[in-house]
């Protein structure tokens, strides 16, 4: 699979301010901010508009006009604040499954080389899709994903992105549950207690997650996401220490401290394995990992002085940092354990490894805090798409119990979190990253009175990108389903 990334985007990511000073923003973003925002009944985007200037088009300099760039004002958040929040939104528990994505097509150390290339390319294409959504919001004055779709594509089909975001959030909850079960089981083992993943998940769901999901005000949980961000950085550093210290290699400190099936195992299928269809599994998992696109309108609206140049700077820096973290965790995990990488890479590390137990604890705290926030987004989405206006205690509690029970049941039945990450990424993720942004961009440009030739050419490229996403999605979904029978 050969994917070419244009020089403009590569240059943007290469020059992104990776050393920016990160300060937490005053607002967090979750799926609920999209789904809970009602679609404006008064259309503000006329059927024909004058195109704004795109001198900072993320993709093509030829899309530029000669007039001054449009300034919409925006919110109060600075670029460093939003970089922090966007990276926090992108880099989640899904990164822990990426080493297993490499195993899908290779088991020799050189298999990590094309994996790094795929992480970079998919990350850049994901950043382009994120930028497209922000630009559509600039053209249409939309403030939510659904509103941007309705103003650029059609109001009658606004249910399409609403359903997609809701089910994508449900898939995230499913992955969270599966990781929580494994993580707490390992933490109990480290404390000398033999508790299965099933028992751990049922216990944490009934005693902790259910009470939290029944709350109507979750503002107190927002700071927990900071622990998750710090925990992922710590996890990458800890994995580096264990890899370079050869702690799990033959004769290493923890070489025999894990089950034989989780000990390092390397074969002969290296970099050339990426040419096999199985590589689509990693590509699909990356679509899940880089997913934050339903919140792109919120980031655009909250950005102070939200010109396209400033928004693209935010997007470029955030996705570049996320690419670096994904690359570190993926390569370090795979190079340490090879073909034995678990669907959650932390499972490969010994329960007696204190350094990695701290990482497990950080991930556990992050997931417990993040789960009810994501759950609120999914529940609000269900209320929205079913057009349920009554949010009385009976309806609220009933839908909460039904949704949580369905997610927990799925987590107990599905054998591997890698399947959830890859299948959801191949289907819903690819739609949100490649297809929907291109369709919205095309619709917005078609409604312009004087769209430049450069913009029209970019529409062709964006639609080709959407076609690529559909192709990767079909192959990825097929390979993900096939992996269940292996």
Percent of the chain whose predicted confidence (pLDDT) is above 70? 83
Distance of alpha carbon 316 from alpha carbon 14, whole angstroms: 8
Q: What is the predicted pLDDT for the residue at 383?
A: 87
Q: How confident is the model at residue 225 (pLDDT cuts 50, 70, 90)?
A: low
Phi/psi for 448 (5° steps) reads -80, 145
Chain mean pLDDT for the chain: 82
**397 Rama class: left (phi>0) / alpha (psi -120 to 50) / beta:** alpha
Structural domains present in the chain: 71-483 (1.20.1740.10)
Mean pLDDT of 113-120: 97
pLDDT at 130: 95
The answer on pLDDT for 15 being more than 60 is no
The arithmetic mean of pLDDT across residues 184-194, rounded, is 90
pLDDT band at 230 (very low <50, low <70, confident <90, very high): confident
465/125 Cα distance (integer angstroms): 8
With both helix axes pointing from N to C terminus, report the angle between 159-190 and 354-385 in degrees, rounded to the nearest 10.
Answer: 150
User: What pLDDT is attached to residue 31?
Assistant: 37
441-447: average pLDDT: 93
Among 32, 24, 134, CA closest to 82: 24
pLDDT at 223: 67
- Calculate mean pLDDT across residues 57-80: 54
35 near 429, Cβ under 8 Å? no
Give strand pairing partners of 303: 77
Residues 256-260: contacts with CB under 8 Å, at least 24 apart: 257/350, 257/351, 257/352, 257/353, 258/348, 258/349, 258/350
Give yes or no for residue 363 having a pLDDT over 50: yes
pLDDT in tens, 274-311: 999 999 999 999 988 898 888 899 899 999 999 999 99
Across 84-112, average pLDDT: 91
Asked if the model's pLDDT at residue 19 lies above 80, the reply is: no
Residue 213 has pLDDT above 60, yes or no: yes
Contact 300, 138 (CB under 8 A): yes
CB neighbour class for 62 (10 Å; exposed up to 12, middle 13-18, buried from 19) = middle
Using the predicted structure, report yes or no on whether residue 30 has a pLDDT greater than 80: no
pLDDT of 118 reads 96
Lowest mean pLDDT among 11-15, 74-78, 389-393: 11-15
**∠ CA(421), CA(423), CA(429), 5° rounding?**
75
Q: pLDDT of 459-484, one tens digit each?
A: 999 999 999 999 999 998 999 888 77
Q: Calculate the dihedral angle through the C-alpha atoms of 334, 338, 339, 343, rounding to the nearest 10 degrees.
A: -30
Summarize the confidence of residues 93-109 as an average pLDDT: 92
**For every residue of the chain, which 3-state class applies, written as one string?**
CCCCCCHHHHHHHHCCCCCCCCCCCCCCCCHHHHHCCCCCCCCCCCCCECCCCCCCCCCCHHHCCCCCCCCCCECCECHHHHHHHHHHHHCCHHHHHHHHHHHCCCCCHHHHHHHHHHHHHHHHHHHHHHHHHHHHHHHHCCCCHHHHHHHHCCHHHCHHHHHHHHHHHHHHHHHHHHHHHHHHHHHHHHCCCCCCHHHHHHHHHHHHHHHHHCCCCCHHHCCHHHHHHHHHHHHHHHHHHHHHCCCCCCCCCCCCCCCHHHCCECCCCCHHHHHCCCHHHHHHHHHHHCCCHHHHHHHHHHEECCCHHHHHHHHHHHHHHHHHHHHHHHHHHHHHHECCCCCCHHHHCCCCCHHHHHHHHHHHHHHHHHHHHHHHHHHHHHHHHCCCCCCCHHHHHHHHHHHHHHHHHHHHHCCCHHHHHHHHHHHHHHHHHHHHHHHHHHHHHHCECCCCHHHHHHHHHHHHHHHHHHHHHHHHHHHHHHHCCC
Instruction: Please give the span between the terminal C-alpha atoms of the chain, in angstroms, as a whole number.
Output: 23
pLDDT of 23 over the 70 cut? no
CA 179, 181, 186, 188 dihedral sign is positive
Mean pLDDT, rounded, for 157-171: 89
Residue 309: CB atoms within 10 Å: 14
Can you tell me the distance from the alpha carbon of 486 to that of 474, in angstroms, rounded to the nearest whole number?
19
Question: Tell me, what's the pLDDT at 37?
Answer: 33
Residue pair 377/257 in contact by the 8 Å Cβ criterion: no
């Amino acid at each position: 699979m050969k994917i070419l990334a244009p020089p403009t985007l590569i240059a943007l990511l290469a020059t992104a301010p990776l050393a920016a000073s990160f300060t937490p923003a005053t607002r967090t973003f979750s799926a609920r901010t999209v789904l809970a925002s009602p679609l404006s009944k008064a259309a503000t985007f006329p059927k024909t508009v004058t195109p704004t200037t795109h001198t900072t088009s993320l993709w093509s300099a030829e899309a530029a006009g000669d007039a001054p760039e449009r300034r919409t004002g925006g919110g109060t958040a600075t670029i460093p604040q939003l970089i922090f929040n966007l990276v926090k939104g992108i880099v989640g528990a899904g990164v822990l499954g990426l080493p297993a994505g490499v195993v899908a097509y290779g088991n020799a150390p050189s298999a990590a080389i094309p994996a790094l290339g795929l992480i970079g390319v998919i990350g850049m294409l994901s950043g382009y899709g994120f930028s497209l959504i922000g630009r559509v919001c600039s053209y249409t004055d939309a403030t939510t994903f659904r509103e941007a779709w309705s103003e650029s594509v059609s109001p009658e089909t606004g249910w399409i992105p609403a359903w997609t975001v809701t089910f994508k959030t449900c898939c995230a909850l499913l992955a969270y549950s599966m990781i929580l079960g494994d993580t707490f089981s390992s933490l109990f083992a480290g404390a000398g207690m033999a508790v299965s993943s099933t028992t751990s998940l049922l216990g944490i769901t009934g005693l902790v997650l259910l009470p939290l999901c029944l709350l109507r005000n979750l503002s107190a949980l927002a700071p927990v996401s900071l622990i998750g961000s710090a925990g992922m950085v710590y996890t990458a550093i800890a994995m580096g220490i264990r890899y370079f210290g050869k702690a799990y290699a033959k004769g290493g400190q923890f070489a025999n401290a894990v089950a034989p099936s989780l000990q390092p195992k390397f074969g002969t299928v290296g970099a050339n394995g990426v040419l096999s269809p199985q590589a689509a599994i990693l590509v699909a998992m990356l679509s899940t990992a880089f997913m934050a696109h339903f919140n792109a309108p919120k980031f655009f609206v909250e950005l102070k002085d939200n010109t396209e140049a400033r928004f693209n700077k935010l997007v470029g820096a955030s996705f570049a940092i996320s690419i670096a973290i994904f690359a570190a965790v993926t390569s370090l995990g795979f190079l340490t354990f090879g073909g034995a990488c678990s669907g959650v890479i932390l499972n490969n590390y010994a329960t007696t490894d204190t350094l990695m137990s701290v990482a497990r604890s950080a991930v556990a705290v992050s997931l417990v805090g993040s789960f009810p926030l994501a759950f609120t987004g999914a529940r609000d989405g269900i209320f929205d798409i079913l057009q349920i206006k009554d949010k009385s205690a009976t309806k609220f509690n009933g839908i909460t119990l039904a949704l949580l029970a369905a997610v927990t049941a799925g987590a107990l039945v599905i054998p591997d979190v890698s399947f959830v990450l890859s299948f959801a990424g191949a289907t819903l993720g690819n739609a949100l990253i490649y297809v929907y942004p291109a369709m919205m961009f095309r619709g917005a440009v078609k409604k312009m009175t004087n769209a430049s030739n450069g913009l029209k050419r970019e529409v062709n490229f964006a639609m080709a990108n959407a076609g690529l996403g559909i192709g990767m999605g079909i192959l990825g979904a097929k390979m993900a389903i096939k992996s269940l029978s292996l």
